Structures are given as structure tokens and as C-alpha cells.
Amino acid sequence: MNAKELCTCKNTKCKLHPLNHDLGCTPCIEKNLKMDEMPNCFFDKIDPEHKRKGTKTKDYAEFYINEVKG
């Protein structure tokens, strides 16, 4: 499976979305690492409706604990 088939992000207008280049997930992951954020696909795996406070790594940890472990 390639990144274009794998990506669950619905923001296909984003320049980092795999549909918009041939670099796979790398640009998105690099941006998220620099910004201390989590990619949308991590949130989408748990809840595609994005019931979350923010996109920071800390926000993801709280989201995960509340949604999966809660």
C-alpha cells in the first residue's frame, strides 16, 4: 500500500498531503515533529470526528487516554 492509499487525512488541499507530491508521509511527519504535533492520521485512527483539544503531542496523549483507556 502506498502513502496515497494509506493517508486518512481529509485535508487533501494541504501541500503536505501525499496526493499533492511524491514524497509519501515524510513532509507531514517532518512538519509535525518540528512543531511538536501529531499527524491527523493518529487522531483519525481513534476517532475520525476529531473530538480533541489540539494537535500537540500532549493533546494526543490526553486524547488517547480519554478515548481508548477511558
60 contacts 38 by C-beta, under 8 angstroms: yes
Q: Say what the pTM is.
A: 0.79
Residue 70 has pLDDT above 70, yes or no: no
Q: How far apart are CA 4 and CA 60, in angstroms?
A: 23
What pLDDT shows up at residue 66? 85
Q: What are the angstrom distances between the C-alpha of 41 and each of 22, 29?
A: 18, 10
Q: How far apart are CA 61 and CA 57, in angstroms?
A: 6
Residue extents of the structural domains in the chain: 3-69
Residue 42 has pLDDT above 70, yes or no: yes
Q: What mean pLDDT do residues 11-36 have?
A: 94
- Which cell is 30 given? 517532518
User: Which band of pLDDT confidence, cut at 50, 70 and 90, is reported for residue 18?
Assistant: very high
What pLDDT shows up at residue 29? 95
Residue 50 has pLDDT above 80, yes or no: no
What pLDDT shows up at residue 1? 74
